[in-house]
Amino acid sequence: MSIAKNIRQIEAQIDGRAKLVAVTKTKPISLLQEAYDAGCKCFGENKVQEMVEKQALLPTDIEWHLIGHLQTNKVKYMASFVSLIHSVDSLKLLQEINKQAAKAERVIDCLLQIHIAQEETKFGFSETEVETLLGSDEVEKLANVRIVGLMGMASNVADELQIRHEFRSLKLFFDKLNTSYATSFTILSMGMSGDYLLAIEEGSTLVRVGSAIFGSR
Ligand SMILES: *Cc1c(COP(=O)(O)O)cnc(C)c1O
């Protein structure tokens, strides 16, 4: 298996329709370096500590995305360098990101994670919660975070129709927010190794692909 070949194949399938985040969680530095050498400069990790350790060892022109559930007490470790946080699921977390971004004299881009799957286990806001959040004064006060879009994970099922419907409903909600609120969201993060082409057909602009590049974990 060649990482470079996998990346080339996936990029060819994506064909410029979405941006590829290579999900590097649990993978050793040598494989990240291989992906970097193949031209991939955008990595997604799901644990802050692992991301911090890897970031220190790799070239500085890599964009680091935090894609996994984030605890407020971990934000400070990555505030100086993280490019995009996909997994914002509470106002409290957004406030902490704002605070740490201010300390680092940065504005940090964030996505609101929306619960679209049937399964109970996935984190995220409901659509109603997001509408309440965006309508509140609390969010406007946050000068050091920029909410640039939404992220969602489809159910882990074989039923393509169900997955497609979940992606479609997230895209509809994304469009609705851009027409009914003063938002101009540009990023819709949906799609992983098993469903990224489906996700792109349904309007994804950013796909998070791990095992299809690096092999199974
Ligand atoms: C692990 C992970 C991915 C990548 O999953 P693959 O199936 O290996 O592509 C994408 N998004 C999130 C949030 C993840 O935790």
Distance 73 CA to ligand 1 centre (A): 23
Domains identified in the chain, total number: 1
pLDDT at 119: 77
Residues enclosing ligand 1, CB less than 6 A?
Answer: 23, 25, 46, 67-68, 153, 192-194, 208-212
Residues 45, 25: contact at Cβ < 8 Å? yes
Above 70 in pLDDT, residue 135? yes
- Give the nearest ligand 1 atom to 151 CA: 13
pLDDT digits 0-9 by tens, 39-69? 999 999 999 999 999 999 999 999 999 999 9
Place of tokens 């590097």: 24
| Distances, alpha carbon 15 to alpha carbons 7, 41, 100, 167, in Å | 12, 17, 37, 19
d(CA 200, CA 207): 8
Q: What is the mean pLDDT of the chain?
A: 95
The arithmetic mean of pLDDT across residues 74-102, rounded, is 98
The token pair at 163 is 């997955």
Instruction: Report the C-alpha gap between 46 and 38 in whole angstroms.
Output: 22
Please tell me the predicted confidence (pLDDT) of residue 191: 98
State the pLDDT at residue 184.
87
What CA–CA distance (Å, rounded) separates 206 from 209? 10
Q: What is the mean pLDDT of residues 134-160?
A: 94
User: What pTM did the predictor assign?
Assistant: 0.97
Buried-exposed string 45-70: b where 16+ CB fall within 10 A, e elsewhere: bbbbeebbebbeebeeebebbbbbeb
Q: What is the CATH number of the domain that holds 98?
A: 3.20.20.10
Q: How far is the CA of 213 from the centre of ligand 1 (A)?
A: 11
Inform me whether the pLDDT recorded for 78 exceeds 70: yes
Check pLDDT > 90 for residue 217: no
Phi, psi of 52 (to 5 degrees): -60, -45
Is the pLDDT score of 122 beyond 80?
no
How far are the Cα atoms of 42, 115, 166 from residue 130, in angstroms, in the given order?
27, 11, 17
Buried/exposed 161-187: b ≥16 CB within 10 Å, e otherwise:
eebbebbeebbebbeebeeeeeeebeb
Structural domain for 55, as ranges: 3-214
